[in-house]
Amino acid sequence: MRIVFKFGDGLKSWTVESIKSKYRRIGVDLNILRTCYPCELVAAMNPCPCGYYGDPTHNCTCSEFSIQRYQKRISGPLLDRIDIQINVPRVDYEKLSANTVGESSASIRERVEAARERQRIRFKENPNVTCNSEMGPAEIRQYCRLDAEGEKLVKGLMTHYNISARAYHRLLKLARTIADLDASPDIRTPHMAEAIQYRPRNKG
């Protein structure tokens, strides 16, 4: 069983504590929930109050200050707990109507199952860890080693954005998963670069 927490554009008004309080009110024991079931958080929000910041066809009517205030309303600790953060731009008509076919769902499923099998083999001697997302600091040190170029990328990210230890560890685990999907025994620079792209920084 997998539990998915879904939030719409109201993400901007949520913090870690408010989410915990919401589920305590309906009688959910979060300690049991985390222990027994894999959990996911799926959320979305507009880039600004009017929704058009960065849109190529509509002008944003928000002031610089209102955009910054809007984006800063999201709790930092909550953002730290979201592994993949992406901007979703408007899809052009040409792309919607194109006849090109992307990777099939069956092919993606096959790659995901192969990656999960690599993780099962990796952690078969560890009863407390079954997949990359469950790794602790010790497992991260053992299985998420970077090459010199990857270390340089992460060091630059931490120096420029002052990311937290939690975000750093999540970044490494994400890079390890990307490498698994690529059938790579090592985390290479492109894997680390892709993981970094999934942690954008908000304006201001």
Give the tens place of pLDDT for each residue, 152-179.
Answer: 999 988 888 878 888 899 999 999 999 9
Token readout for 126 is 């560890």
Q: What is the pTM of this model?
A: 0.75
Residue 112 pLDDT greater than 60, yes or no: yes
CB neighbour list of residue 180: distance below 8 Å, 6 or more residues apart: 115, 118, 119, 132
Q: How far apart are CA 166 and CA 66, in angstroms?
A: 28
